[in-house]
A and B are shown apart, each in its own frame.
Chain A
């Protein structure tokens, strides 16, 4: 129900209701951008039920991997080696 799909803003048109085109892989949709006034073409946004609800922060996006390095997930076992 709260499914949110990240997509790339292709265009944005200001008006009484800010709208734009957003690309998800090969599919492009009309999305309401009223809740992400800061998003511009080239940004990625999380889309739910026809509305962009958040701009994806590229810095925040790297944290999953940075955290893994921090907790020592760099790992005593080489890639591809079975346990």
Chain B
């Protein structure tokens, strides 16, 4: 496929690895905040190509993983109601709430459906006027414009039997929470390319300045990641801390202004609790009052009960980059994709699932030489 294969060249990857080798003079730790990048790094062995001085940490870059248990419990309660068609992206179905998941609701007779786009859920609402169609609006800034358009269209078409259960989260506030935490471990960030496709790069400038940390907006293919890492290390080696754009083929500095206008019309910034991290101020999106009639949390009036996490799951530390998946005692034994203790092992973009899939036969110590 065009704009994919040409960024997977083994020869260019080796050349990037050699360029990094001659650039790096001391240890540096970089963090990526995108589950797609985490998955690609582990799948393509990007971390194993790097000089031993460069360490990659995996941040809270998987929206499925950071959706709090209370929100999942709300989803489970709504999906269990008669007359409801509960639509979701596929990766949410096996994420455990307090003891169950959406798949078990489906097995018990609930009408839970996987859709590719929130617009598919909207089309279902149009086709099934006697049913209540609910879409589980999970995701970062990349996904929010799709959900905003769906609810905007529902209002325009007068569809009253469609609603969103909104759990959207924003990346820059989470990066700031990690930067401000004591014992910060990352020297630089790879910022999530598709989030920046929508939001642009401006939100990162104050972070780069205040915390003196280079931030490089990076794509998803092996050569993108290697170039992003090279740009970030080049800044660190020369004592700079600015925002740079590796992913210029898809990201403009100002982002996508028509998507941003739709986001502003439909959503407002709200506080949000992140699974494994806790509450972060102004880190989520919720529906504005004008769209209250399409807000599933209001419509179904589900009360939030305190969620229960499995005590043996250390995904919170994994999501903060404080623990590598193989360092968790439950990894690959009590916790596997078939019997996941936490979201990071369920979602294909969770760090634990990526390591299990591509690295489970290696020693539990992270490799140090390429």
Contacts and interface: CB of A to CB of B under 8 A. Distances in A.
Mutual binders A and B: yes
A40 interface: no
Interface in A48-83: 48-51, 53-54, 56-61, 63-65, 67-68, 71-75, 77, 79
Contacts of A73: 12, 15-16, 18-19
Contact of A4 (B89, B142, B223, B246): B142
A31 B269 CA distance: 28
A71 B197 contact: no
A48 B12 contact: no
A32 interface: yes
A1 B4 contact: no
Contacts of B2: 6, 8, 44
A79 B251 CA distance: 32
A49 B339 CA distance: 28
13 contacts: A1-B62, A1-B349, A3-B36, A6-B2, A6-B3, A17-B149, A34-B258, A46-B250, A49-B143, A49-B146, A54-B252, A63-B249, A64-B7
B11 A32 contact: no
B346 interface: no
Contacts of A25: 1
B146 A61 contact: no
Contact of B146 (A44, A51, A56): A51
Contacts of B248: 57, 59-61, 63
Nearest to A26: B1
Query: Which 8 residue pairs are nearest across A and B when measured between Cβ atoms?
Result: A50-B117, A60-B248, A60-B249, A73-B15, A61-B249, A2-B142, A6-B3, A2-B194
A16 B157 CA distance: 11
Given A64-B7, A73-B18, A75-B15, A32 B119 contact: yes
B5 to A, nearest CB: 10
A77 B16 CA distance: 13
B156 interface: yes
Interface string B175-194: 00000000000000000111
Given A24-B1, A54-B256, A16 B120 contact: no
A77 B117 CA distance: 47
A71 B22 CA distance: 10
B7 to A, nearest CB: 6
Contact of A71 (B7, B230, B252): B230
Contacts of B62: 1
Interface in B210-264: 220, 223-224, 227, 230-231, 234, 246-252, 256, 258-259, 262
B130 to A, nearest CB: 25
Interface in B27-70: 34-36, 62-64
B76 interface: no
A13 B15 CA distance: 44
A42 interface: no
A1 B64 contact: yes
Contacts of B89: 1, 49
Given A73-B15, A73-B18, A2 B250 contact: no
Contacts of A64: 7, 223-224, 227, 246
B158 to A, nearest CB: 13
Contacts of A3: 36, 194, 220
B192 A2 contact: yes
B139 interface: yes
A46 B194 contact: yes
